Amino acid sequence: MTSKISIKVKTLQHFKGELPKYESLYSSGFDVRAQMKEPMILKPGQRYLVPTALSFEIPLGYEIQARPRSGLAIKRGITLLNTPGTIDADYRGEVKIIIANMGSEDFVINDQDRIAQLVICPVFQAEFVKVDDLSETARGIGGFGSTGGSNQLNV
């Protein structure tokens, strides 16, 4: 059984279609659709801010993360920049998706295309405590491939 929380959704004036929904019983993300006046051709290497015509009232203690759709990523090289994109609980504006064409062919974004998936995630805020030393670990200060692999970076 999955847990559910209530999320208020406001559709903006240029919204068409139905509210987002989960496509299967066990989906963690729900798809959002492009709300376009006319098709947009996204050339390889280009990015575009796609309107969804949706605003959300996210409960305190949660965020919405925007993630790429796996089918678009593997088949067409379409991804989202700033992934996962964060929509904070206090944001009330239109959710827009930063889409990028990393493929080798033009990609056309049409009205009502499913362009991203959104996931509701819990949020924890840290209380930062200044210290002079941190505990020791086997890894220590090693980073950027220091735990193994043949393409290690020593930065």
Tell the residue number behind the tokens 């659709």, with chain if given: 33
CB 32 within 8 A of CB 119: no
CB 142 within 8 A of CB 155: no
Element (H, E) at 70: helix 70-76
Q: What is the pLDDT of residue 147?
A: 73
Task: With H, G, I as helix, E, B as strand and everything else as coil, classify residue 74.
Answer: helix
Measured at the alpha carbon of residue 61, what is the angle toward residues 99 and 30, in degrees to the nearest 5? 40
Supply the pTM of this predicted model.
Answer: 0.85
Amino acid at 95: V
**Local confidence pLDDT in tens for the 155 residues of the chain:** 568 899 999 999 999 999 999 999 999 999 999 999 999 999 999 999 999 999 999 999 999 999 999 999 999 999 999 999 999 999 999 999 999 999 999 999 999 999 999 999 999 999 999 999 999 998 888 887 777 765 555 55
Element (H, E) at 76: helix 70-76
Q: Is 87 exposed, middle or buried (0-12, 13-18, 19+ CB in 10 A)?
A: buried
Sign (positive or negative) of CA dihedral 39, 40, 42, 43? positive
What does DSSP say about strands 47-51 and 96-101: parallel, antiparallel, or unpaired? antiparallel
Q: What is the pLDDT of residue 3?
A: 81
Q: How far is CA 37 from CA 4, 18, 92, 94, in A?
A: 34, 17, 23, 16
48 contacts: CB under 8 Å, gap ≥ 6: 40, 42, 98, 99, 100, 109
